[in-house]
Structure 1
């Protein structure tokens, strides 16, 4: 699974991407093994809830509310626009809701958690330069957020047993890509190893 070559700093933040009911078995975009990684996500959040930020992927009210390719995307997925969706499916998974507060929730309408600038500003205010990343999906929103964090210079620690995808093939390919092409900027380790090295 990988090892950490150095300790995790006390000001590190656990960034948990889109662990929401919409991506569980009950939602229209199911990630079948979300429930399998959920205990590890909860362990990270429970270890340092005040240093955890949960993101939520929020679709538009209707497809025409977003520009260009996003409008075309939601023309295909009209059932997940907010005018049709059961809005309770946008909630965090029940096992994670009790961590808020002190954990924070950041809503976003695109894949990357960094797209609107609020997350980066929050992390700078915390003097955070290291992120522990968990969540859904390895090959979509996690991918987009991780690469944005790399571009901004963050040390990224991916919790390999706390991320999930709807595609085993894509998940495995992305973990391999992170290891081969981004080994200096992205570290991969298991939840237990991360917690053991995290000095809170």
Structure 2
């Protein structure tokens, strides 16, 4: 694997959906969440003010949402805010303490780029490099990475700071971005990213 290029000081770390609703043992539990959390914390500690936490916000009640999201929340009625309670959208306690200076961006879908507010914020800051961590590797992390590629950001995936529900899903995402998207995404462990972040 090629050596990581230096990461500029104004890079932004986007930590994807490390929320209570995805912590074991709930219905949406991401199995690797607890093992990944220390690496996410290490990356966040490097520059809390340059960190953005995205949060996935479920529908308020069963059957809400546009198109296929309506049937999704009929199926997952127990995970709507009305039934599960608003606390489920909160960040893991270990991460919540970083806000502020870290920021939060809420989203009703997998992609944080959906309404344009994240891209506008990054453009205002003239950020050209983003570092991605969080969960779930083959869902919201994937959507975050693909959007970053489309916007032309230099994108670094923190391979030991992303989590999934299975080894297979994790391995597939790392393989996808080291092979198929190698011209768009650099993949490196957190220790290396921290060392190369100037």
* Alignment TM class, shorter chain as reference: over 0.9
* CA distance in structure 1 between the aligned counterparts of 2:181 and 2:32, rounded to whole angstroms: 25
* CA distance in structure 2 between the aligned counterparts of 1:4 and 1:117, rounded to whole angstroms: 32
Q: What does residue 151 of structure 1 align with?
A: 150
* CA distance in structure 1 between the aligned counterparts of 2:123 and 2:187, rounded to whole angstroms: 23
Residue 19 of structure 2 contacts residue 89 of structure 2 at CA under 8 Å; is this kept in 1? yes
Q: Please state whether the residue corresponding to 1:120 is helix, strand or coil.
A: helix
Q: Please state whether the residue corresponding to 1:135 is helix, strand or coil.
A: strand
* CA distance in structure 1 between the aligned counterparts of 2:88 and 2:80, rounded to whole angstroms: 11
Q: Please state whether the residue corresponding to 1:157 is helix, strand or coil.
A: strand
Q: TM-score, normalised by structure 1?
A: 0.96
Deviation string for 1:93-113 (max 9, x for gaps)? 011011000000111010011
Structure 2, gaps ≥5 residues long = none
The number of residue pairs the alignment matches comes to: 198
Are 1:132 and 2:131 matched, yes or no?
yes
Q: Please state whether the residue corresponding to 1:64 is helix, strand or coil.
A: coil
Q: TM-score, normalised by structure 2?
A: 0.97
* CA distance in structure 2 between the aligned counterparts of 1:186 and 1:4, rounded to whole angstroms: 13
Residue 155 of structure 2 contacts residue 185 of structure 2 at CA under 8 Å; is this kept in 1? yes
What is the CA distance between 1:3 and its match in structure 2?
A: 4.8
* CA distance in structure 1 between the aligned counterparts of 2:185 and 2:60, rounded to whole angstroms: 35
Are 1:56 and 2:62 matched, yes or no?
no
Q: What does residue 196 of structure 1 align with?
A: 195
Deviation string for 1:116-139 (max 9, x for gaps)? 101000000110011000000000
Q: Which moved more, 1:131-140 or 1:166-175?
A: 166-175
Q: Which moved more, 1:127-136 or 1:167-176?
A: 167-176
Q: Structure 1 residue runs of 4+, over 3 Å off? A: 2-5
Residue 4 of structure 2 contacts residue 192 of structure 2 at CA under 8 Å; is this kept in 1? no
Q: What does residue 109 of structure 1 align with?
A: 108
Q: Which moved more, 1:80-89 or 1:111-120?
A: 80-89
Are 1:94 and 2:99 matched, yes or no?
no
What is the CA distance between 1:64 and its match in structure 2?
A: 3.3
Q: Please state whether the residue corresponding to 1:16 is helix, strand or coil.
A: strand
What is the CA distance between 1:167 and its match in structure 2?
A: 2.0
Q: Please state whether the residue corresponding to 1:110 is helix, strand or coil.
A: coil
What is the CA distance between 1:27 and its match in structure 2?
A: 2.7
Residue 51 of structure 1 contacts residue 103 of structure 1 at CA under 8 Å; is this kept in 2? yes
What is the CA distance between 1:39 and its match in structure 2?
A: 0.7
Residue 4 of structure 2 contacts residue 196 of structure 2 at CA under 8 Å; is this kept in 1? no
